[in-house]
């Protein structure tokens, strides 16, 4: 009886631990802290327990923390947890199946996971789930399959990331923008990265403004993914280097400066840094400085000077100097 009571107690502890992290992971602000604290290996262990309630909570944590950050998506695959998630997808318990399928769909957002997912023959199971699962499971399976199909195209966008800024032909920017699937954070990240690299050449600025890239970037900088925000903000920073006043006027008129000020106060240090660079680039043109100050750039930049991140402090100081 002592043994049985002990096992029941252990199961209860496991459930409450998984449940607590499940609730915490529902907030994106906690994702990095949970991962950095080493919680993922614990979730893998808990997901292997026979208790389906524990499985559901552990799979939910994995699904939540893989929702937006590619390095976490890659890490879960490298950890060998893909097969565990596929096993959970076969569960007869809907909550377990739904959480595991969502986690796999998130893993497909990192295009570098595609070979491992293909090797695990996940597509076959995803097709089966699409035909037999609940409405939520069907949606997640469909999302995963769509992401896997898109991976081939997204890999092609990396040709824009060479050592030199690429010069693009008419219509090429518009074609890149078409791949920014709103349901695929990985696609948005790759598109934003490509546009940022294209924007590094002033010869491409007119095409970026005319073919919908600027409008898309304004949407991407308010993404729920810090990685998407970083790349989109980097693209705006490169556009802000334009010599053409019309580009600056369009950026100001469409609210880009206001967004950059908000991004400078982001919880993510990478976003903060890119926003400071963008504000600095904008302020290099004397005619923009009043607009930058009126947009409220000074308070977040001054706050950045107290950051523990050296890069954030440096670029905040550079931005403030450009406004002097």
At 1 the pLDDT is 35
Res 2: pLDDT = 40
Own/partner contacts of 98-101, CB < 8 Å, gap of 24 or more, are 98/133, 98/134, 98/136, 98/137, 98/140, 99/56, 99/59, 99/60, 99/62, 99/63, 100/59, 100/63, 101/126, 101/129, 101/133, 101/136, 101/137, 101/140, 101/141, 101/144
Q: How many helices (H) and strands (E) does the chain have?
A: 21, 0
* 315: pLDDT strictly greater than 90: yes
Report the predicted TM-score, pTM, of the whole model to 2 decimal places.
0.80
Task: Give the residue from 308, 260, 314, 306 showing the smallest Cα distance to 283.
Answer: 260
| Model confidence pLDDT, tens digit, residues 103-142 | 999 999 999 999 999 999 999 999 999 999 999 999 999 9
pLDDT over 90 percentage in the chain: 83
Q: 239 near 208, Cβ under 8 Å? A: yes
The pLDDT of residue 273 is 97
**End-to-end CA distance of the chain, in Å?**
75
Q: Are 177 and 211 in contact (CB under 8 A)?
A: yes
Per-residue pLDDT tens for 191-234? 999 999 999 999 999 999 999 999 999 999 999 899 999 999 99
Q: Does position 168 have pLDDT exceeding 90, yes or no? A: yes
Q: How many Cα atoms within 13 Å fall on the side-chain side of residue 131? A: 5
Residue 316 is encoded by which pair of tokens? Answer: 């905040």
Distance CA 155, CA 310 (A): 32
What was the pLDDT predicted at 6? 52
pLDDT category, 20, cuts 50, 70, 90?
Answer: very high
Domains annotated for the chain, with CATH where assigned, are: 2-156 (1.25.10.10), 163-323 (1.25.10.10)
Give the other-Cβ count within 10 Å of 60's Cβ.
26
């Amino acid at each position: 009886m002592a043994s049985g009571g002990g096992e029941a107690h252990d199961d209860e502890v496991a459930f409450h631990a998984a449940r607590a992290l499940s609730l915490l992971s529902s907030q994106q602000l906690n994702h990095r802290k949970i991962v950095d604290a080493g919680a993922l290996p614990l979730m893998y262990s808990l997901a292997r327990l026979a208790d389906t309630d524990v499985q559901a909570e552990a799979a939910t944590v994995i699904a939540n923390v893989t929702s937006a950050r590619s390095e976490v998506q890659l890490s879960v695959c490298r950890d060998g947890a893909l097969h565990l998630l596929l096993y959970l997808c076969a569960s007869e318990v809907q909550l377990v199946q739904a959480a595991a399928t969502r986690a796999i769909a998130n893993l497909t957002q990192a295009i570098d996971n595609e070979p491992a997912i293909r090797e695990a023959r996940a597509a076959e199971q995803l097709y089966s789930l699409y035909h037999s699962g609940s409405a939520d499971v069907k949606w997640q399976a469909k999302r995963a399959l769509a992401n896997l199909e898109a991976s081939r195209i997204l890999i092609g966008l990396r040709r824009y990331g060479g050592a030199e800024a690429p010069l693009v032909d008419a219509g090429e920017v518009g074609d890149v923008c078409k791949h920014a699937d709103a349901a695929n954070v990985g696609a948005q990240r790759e598109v934003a990265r490509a546009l940022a690299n294209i924007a590094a050449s002033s010869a491409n600025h007119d095409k970026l403004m005319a073919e919908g890239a600027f409008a898309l970037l304004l949407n991407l900088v308010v993404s729920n993914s810090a990685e998407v925000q970083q790349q989109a903000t980097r693209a705006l920073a490169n556009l802000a280097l334009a010599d053409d006043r019309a580009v600056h006027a369009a950026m100001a008129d469409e609210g880009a400066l206001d967004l950059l000020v908000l991004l400078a106060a982001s919880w993510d240090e990478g976003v903060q840094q890119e926003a400071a660079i963008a504000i600095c680039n904008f302020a290099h043109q004397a005619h923009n400085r009043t607009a930058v100050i009126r947009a409220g750039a000074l308070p977040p930049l001054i706050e950045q000077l107290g950051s523990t991140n050296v890069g954030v402090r440096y670029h905040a100081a550079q931005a403030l100097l450009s406004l002097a």
